[in-house]
Amino acid sequence: MTDLVASYGGTPIPGWWDTIRPHSFGWVTARAADDVVVGFVNVVTDGGDHAFLIDTKTRGAFQRRGIATRVVAFAAEHARAAGCEWLHVDFDDELRPFYLEACEFEPTAAGLIHLRPSQAPA
């Protein structure tokens, strides 16, 4: 996962996946012919009707090929099959066309409280 994050200019955090995995309902990966992970999305749930997408990622060299769209669609299909009624996602404004147009999410009103202050670089 750290290699995937670094591939698109993100900041990889060693041990991230080991911390996140126990909270996952499931996850979807896409792999290239050489078995390298090129796409990923994590799905968490409240244990009832709601599933949440987090950490959608596509390897830098593979972006803009529809991989993330297919990974999200597969996650939605399996959340539905598992009995979830709703699939939620939060995103930054620049990802609005991806989630609302390519992935067909509906815009909703939502609220957010930032619980930790931003860390200024040292």
pLDDT tens, position by position, 28-81: 999 999 999 999 999 999 999 999 999 999 999 999 999 999 999 999 999 999
What pLDDT does 32 receive? 96
Ordered DSSP codes for 76-108: HHHHHHTT--EEEE---GGGHIIIIIIS-PPP-
How far is Cα 79 from Cα 53, in angstroms, rounded to an integer?
Answer: 10
What pLDDT does 117 receive? 79
Q: Report which DSSP code applies to 119.
A: P
What average pLDDT does the segment 15-22 reach?
90
- CATH dotted code for 2-102: 3.40.630.30
What pLDDT does 121 receive? 59
What average pLDDT does the segment 17-32 reach?
93
Burial zone of 17 (CB within 10 Å; 0-12 exposed, 13-18 middle, 19+ buried): middle
How far is Cα 97 from Cα 72, in angstroms, rounded to an integer?
Answer: 14
Q: What is the pTM of this model?
A: 0.87
Residue listed under structure tokens 């404004």: 93
